[in-house]
């Protein structure tokens, strides 16, 4: 049997493998595929469900009308979230390429892929710092007494007031402890200014925060050590790419739901929990008419699903060609949003309990971002019996939620590099690329572990992946629907899935989703306020750096477009522009057996070599004839141009006649 026939037989064996077989071969043996579809769904769920579902959505919900916020939230999910999610999954799966390689669809727009890489790089740097702080709190919870329970520590100030008394009452009787608790609460209510032990532990001990973003101070060695641990975990889970991460997500993507359920059951049994949940859900219908509420809903859906990060395209590129990514997009999107709602019950049941103990409104203990994860919630945990256990569970959940997203961020960068270079050596040594990227991410994260690190982390969080993501996503929609052509893309999806995209998605891709994305961009610009951290106002030069980070991803798009146009063939700018927008000859399904219809290969030297021996000579002769015919037409064309378009030059042997 010839080599080509052997390859064909091997491919047929791979396609013929049934799900029940113990040994499964990859459809794409060069890049690899997910072990099964559950691994892809769990990885995508872990990517979309992140820290924002726990520390941002509940806050947005109660700030924007409680239960009334659910209406615009789910409307934006249907008209923007799910369609964009499906678009990115189908885009990556059809070409089996990462966020750079897919732009063979229209090479001029490859800068969009570079922009996605820049965004994923920024997020990957600071996101792992958040995970490492969660690691730190997790390790510090391995004690009989949480270190942020009382105010008798060296780092506490005179303003510190705990809700469970002070350290000197540790050996008091139960009656004395109860009296102390009531006295502590009364003291909290009567004070005009209160600083909680958890807040002082966060600011003065964990961060030892400096007074200015430019005052870096020393590196916080415990945080640096946890950052190294975090990057090691990420690297080890990705050491074999999707083959290893696909196994890890069985735990990292599912166990957070176990922890959430445990915390939910504990939370709703506490005094005052119902008040927190009421505050979370009570609808304020008048707010539905506020454009800001709709803007927040659209932004949360867009950012929460991870659109325009490049991760969705990358994860889908490891699917088998005929996988039903339409079904997957609906399952993953709904799971993500349902998780946000569920996490809200968990968070506000505990915050309601805390407000009940402090005798203050829920709004005064509610927070979002790092303030919720590392200040408000840890303080609430100190009120619970066996508080170290609940603290361990909570921070373990944060670690797993963060790692699920971090896996995909790192894999996005590695896949883009490997696909772009594409040599056999780099494919075989993908682990080395993963290691290099992980080491670079660790080194770039070191400044965020200094005393000024929290200022830089929040700056990156607010600017590196803000309006730039909206612009990238909008240009991606325009390129696919209007440059490449919506009819072409609909045919591609039908060829891949076996059925065309539903009419609803066709309309959303062409009109509704781009309009909503434009609305998000306008809303982001109108509602812009300079970033602050508590009472600290960021200086102008730091805001300039923030805008530079935001623009650094967007600027890739016009720079690469101009470069591609300048390098494209053509006598005029219009011709070069047209050629730069035209799909690359290699655009389409990655495997030969899937390139049917308009992607069926034309006769070429490469395809000749793959044919049986008896056909090779005939095909080579046909190729030679085609090349001669092309040369003859080129000569005629040049002759016509040389005579200023006059056909008489060819028809009359005497030009002067």
* In contact, 493 and 316? CB cutoff 8 Å: no
Closest CA to 370 of 129, 116, 615, 85: 129
Q: Residue 49, annotated ligand binder?
A: yes
Cα separation, 375 vs 454, whole angstroms: 14
Q: Residue 53, annotated ligand binder?
A: yes
* In contact, 429 and 327? CB cutoff 8 Å: no
Q: Residue 238, annotated ligand binder?
A: no
Q: Residue 304, annotated ligand binder?
A: yes
Residue 335's CB is within 10 A of a number of other CB atoms, namely: 18
Residue 614's CB is within 10 A of a number of other CB atoms, namely: 7
Q: Residue 152, annotated ligand binder?
A: no
Q: Residue 173, annotated ligand binder?
A: no
* In contact, 332 and 41? CB cutoff 8 Å: yes
Half-sphere exposure of 580 toward its Cβ, with a 13 Å CA cutoff? Answer: 21
* In contact, 210 and 452? CB cutoff 8 Å: yes
Strand 532-533 versus strand 536-537 pairing type: antiparallel
Cα separation, 581 vs 566, whole angstroms: 12
Cα separation, 358 vs 182, whole angstroms: 9
Closest CA to 137 of 390, 413, 472: 390
> Which residues are within 8 A (CB) of 554 and not within 5 positions of it... i.e. 6 or more apart?
115, 468, 471, 472
Q: Residue 648, annotated ligand binder?
A: no
> Which residues are within 8 A (CB) of 212 and not within 5 positions of it... i.e. 6 or more apart?
452, 455, 539
Q: In the numeric block, which tokens belong to residue 137? A: 């709190």
* In contact, 343 and 55? CB cutoff 8 Å: no
Q: What's the per-residue H, E or C state across 187-248? A: HHHHCCCCECHHHHHHHHHHCCCCCCCCCCCCECHHHHHHHHHHHHHHHHHCCCCHHHHHHH
* In contact, 477 and 87? CB cutoff 8 Å: yes
What are the φ/ψ torsions at residue 84 (nearest 5 degrees)? Answer: -65, -35
Residues annotated within the binding site are 46, 48-49, 53, 304, 336, 401
Residues annotated within the binding site for Na(+) are 46, 48-49, 53, 304, 336, 401
């Amino acid at each position: 049997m010839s080599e080509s026939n052997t390859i064909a037989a091997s491919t047929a064996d791979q396609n013929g493998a049934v799900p029940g077989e113990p040994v499964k071969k990859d459809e794409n043996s060069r890049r690899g595929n997910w072990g099964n579809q559950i691994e892809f769904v769990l990885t995508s769920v872990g990517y979309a469900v992140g820290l924002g579902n726990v520390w941002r959505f509940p806050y947005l919900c109660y700030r924007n009308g409680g239960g009334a916020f659910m209406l615009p939230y789910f409307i934006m999910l249907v008209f923007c979230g799910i369609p964009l999610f499906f678009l990115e999954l189908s885009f990556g799966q059809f070409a089996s390429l990462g966020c750079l390689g897919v732009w063979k669809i229209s090479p001029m727009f490859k800068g969009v892929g570079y922009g996605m890489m820049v965004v994923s790089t920024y997020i990957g740097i600071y996101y792992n710092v958040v995970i490492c702080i969660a690691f730190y709190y997790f390790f510090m919870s391995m004690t009989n007494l949480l270190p942020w329970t009382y105010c008798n520590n060296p780092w506490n100030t005179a303003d510190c007031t705990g809700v469970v008394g002070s350290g000197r009452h540790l050996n008091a009787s139960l009656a004395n402890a109860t009296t102390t608790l009531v006295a502590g609460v009364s003291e909290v209510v009567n004070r005009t200014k209160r600083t909680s032990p958890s807040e002082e532990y966060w600011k003065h001990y964990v961060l030892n925060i400096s007074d200015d973003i430019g005052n870096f101070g020393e590196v916080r060695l415990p945080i640096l050590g946890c950052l190294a641990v975090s990057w090691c975990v990420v690297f080890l889970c990705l050491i074999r790419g999707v083959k290893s991460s696909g196994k890890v997500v069985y735990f990292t993507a599912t166990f957070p739901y176990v922890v959430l359920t445990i915390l939910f059951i504990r939370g709703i049994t506490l005094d005052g929990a119902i008040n927190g949940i009421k505050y979370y859900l009570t609808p304020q219908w008048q707010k539905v008419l506020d454009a800001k509420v709709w803007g927040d809903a659209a932004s949360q859906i867009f950012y929460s699903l991870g659109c325009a990060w490049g991760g969705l395209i990358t994860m889908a590129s490891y699917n088998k060609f005929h996988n039903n990514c339409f079904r997957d997009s609906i399952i993953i999107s709904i799971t993500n949003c349902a998780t946000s709602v569920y996490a809200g019950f968990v968070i506000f049941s505990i915050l309601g309990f805390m407000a009940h103990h402090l005798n203050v409104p829920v709004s005064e203990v509610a927070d979002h971002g790092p303030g919720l994860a590392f200040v408000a919630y840890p303080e609430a945990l100190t009120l619970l019996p066996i508080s170290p256990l609940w603290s361990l569970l909570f921070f373990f959940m944060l670690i797993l939620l963060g790692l699920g997203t971090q896996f995909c961020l790192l894999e996005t960068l590695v896949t883009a590099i490997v696909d772009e270079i594409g040599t056999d050596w780099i494919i075989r040594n993908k682990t080395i690329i993963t290691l290099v990227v992980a080491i670079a991410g660790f080194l770039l994260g070191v400044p965020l572990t200094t005393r000024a690190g929290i200022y830089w982390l929040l700056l990156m969080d607010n600017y590196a992946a803000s309006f730039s993501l909206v612009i990238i996503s909008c240009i991606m929609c325009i390129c696919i629907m209007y440059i490449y052509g919506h009819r072409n893309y609909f045919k591609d999806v039908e060829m891949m899935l076996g059925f065309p995209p539903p009419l609803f998605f066709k309309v959303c891709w062409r009109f509704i989703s781009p309009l909503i994305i434009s609305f998000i961009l306008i809303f982001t610009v109108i509602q812009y306020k300079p970033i602050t951290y508590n009472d600290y106002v960021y200086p102008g030069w730091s805001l300039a750096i923030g805008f530079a980070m935001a623009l650094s991803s967007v600027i890739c798009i016009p720079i690469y477009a101009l470069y591609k146009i300048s390098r494209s063939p053509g006598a005029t700018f219009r011709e070069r522009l047209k050629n730069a927008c035209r799909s690359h000859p290699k655009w389409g399904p990655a495997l030969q057996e899937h390139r049917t219809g308009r992607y069926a290969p034309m006769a070429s030297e490469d395809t000749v070599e793959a044919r049986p021996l008896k056909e090779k000579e005939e095909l080579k002769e046909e190729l030679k004839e085609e090349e001669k015919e092309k040369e003859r037409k080129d000569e005629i064309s040049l002759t016509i141009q040389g005579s200023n378009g006059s056909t008489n030059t060819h028809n009359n042997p005497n030009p002067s006649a």
